[in-house]
Amino acid sequence: MTFDPDENVPPPQKRAWWRSIRFRRPIGAVSSGAASMIRGGRFRWRWIAGGLVVLFVLYYPVGALIVENIDDDPQFAPSGMAPGESRAVAVASALVTREVDVHSWTPMQPFFVPAGILDNMPNFQRGIAAALGRFSTELMDQLGRTRGSSQTDRDLEQARGFLNEQPNVWIWQPSVSFWPSATSAQKYRAGRDKLVSYNKRLASGQAVFERRSDNLQALLDRIANDEGSDSAVIDQQIIEQAGNLFDMHCDDIFYFNKGRLYANYLLMRELGQDFEGIIKEKGLTSSWQQTVETFRIASQLEPWVVWNGWPDAFVIPNHLAAQGFYLLRARTQLREISAILLK
């Protein structure tokens, strides 16, 4: 039996070639729900990244503003002293405690902490450290021994060593050693402890603090020499950079000098009481007070921005020149007192 095709049925049509192509989901394609989860995760990561950027931007300036404290309080004084102790030694140890423990010792701070970007406070503290290092040296060599042939006080010898250490040593300093070391703050604390120990022995009569005019004269000469050296640095900076509104080094010089002047002001004020008898005997009471006042004024200069303008400028001042005037005036007054003490 055969079947004849039905003439009324249309013949089958060929399928277009492009319709035969099947669009398959690519390997790894995800559903709409999974895609929305991925988009949400990316959104969260963008927020996290943005938050970290904002935190990083605020971390340094806000943290630095919190840490910065250029403490030039002229009323700062030691407390809780026992009879017989040296007031100058007491104020030196108290100053170390304030700058290292109460404030933060910023010259040694690494770059990844907010204090690492500070500029003025570290230089101010370097100046304080330089003055205290000088004082500890003269204390060991002159004031803390009866004569040059007498034995050096052990506490003062160790204090001199610690307080003359570099101010910028952190836990790890590759330029010095690849091994961890004691920080500047730790060394200054150790020097402070030795000064406190010496002062306690002095109060109990077990140590020497020679209140002689030649010892005072030698100390004043050393302080005058340091101030003269600072004036030479000011002079050189003015010669080379005066009128440069972008002088980025003038504020470093200014605040280092400010720190040294401030520490010397405190030391001179307290030395005036330690050597009150000698000062009265030599008729130096008025001269001493004027010298201390000059140090105080010089240490209190605090411009909003330190400029190194032309010395005769009409608009832009030269703060280095202003500071240098008081610095040299204090040096001159120290020399005058020293000359009278020699008589």
Residue 22 has pLDDT above 90, yes or no: no
Q: Which of 328, 314, 336 is nearest to 235 (CA)?
A: 328
Residue type, 4: D
CB 283 within 8 A of CB 277: no
Rounded mean pLDDT, 55-68: 80
Distance CA 186, CA 190 (A): 6
Under DSSP, the state recorded for 20 is G
Res 179: pLDDT = 75
Q: Could you tell me the pTM of the whole model?
A: 0.85
CB 320 within 8 A of CB 253: yes
> How far, in Å, are 11, 27, 144, 160 from residue 18 at the CA level?
21, 22, 105, 94
Segment 38-55, tens digit of pLDDT: 555 566 777 777 667 766
Residue 297 has pLDDT above 80, yes or no: yes
Higher pLDDT, 184 or 28: 184
> How far, in Å, are 261, 299, 300, 302, 325 from residue 72 at the CA level?
10, 7, 7, 10, 19
CB 215 within 8 A of CB 142: yes
CB 184 within 8 A of CB 169: yes
- 7, with CB counted inside 10 A (0-12, 13-18, 19+), is exposed
Res 129: pLDDT = 98
Residue written as token pair 């250490």 = 165
What six digits make up the tokens of 55? 């935190």
Distance CA 336, CA 288 (A): 10
Res 64: pLDDT = 85
> How far, in Å, are 7, 9, 172, 193 from residue 2 at the CA level?
15, 17, 103, 123
Residue type, 165: E
Q: Is the dihedral of CA 145, 148, 149, 154 positive or negative?
A: positive
Residue 75 has pLDDT above 90, yes or no: yes
171 band by pLDDT with thresholds 50, 70 and 90: confident
Angle between helices 319-341 and 285-300 (to 10 degrees): 160
The mean predicted confidence, pLDDT, of the chain is 88
Higher pLDDT, 140 or 35: 140
Question: Residue 257 belongs to what H/E stretch?
Answer: helix 250-274
R_g over Cα of the chain: 35
Under DSSP, the state recorded for 171 is S
* 79 CB-near residues (< 8 Å, 6+ apart): 94
Residue type, 68: E
Rounded mean pLDDT, 290-307: 97
Task: Calculate ∠ Cα 154-158-160, nearest 5°.
Answer: 115
Distance CA 156, CA 145 (A): 10
Res 47: pLDDT = 74
Q: Minimum mean pLDDT among 43-47, 225-229, 281-285: which range?
A: 43-47
Residue written as token pair 């404290």 = 69
> pLDDT exceeding 70 applies to what percent of the chain?
83
Distance CA 57, CA 86 (A): 48
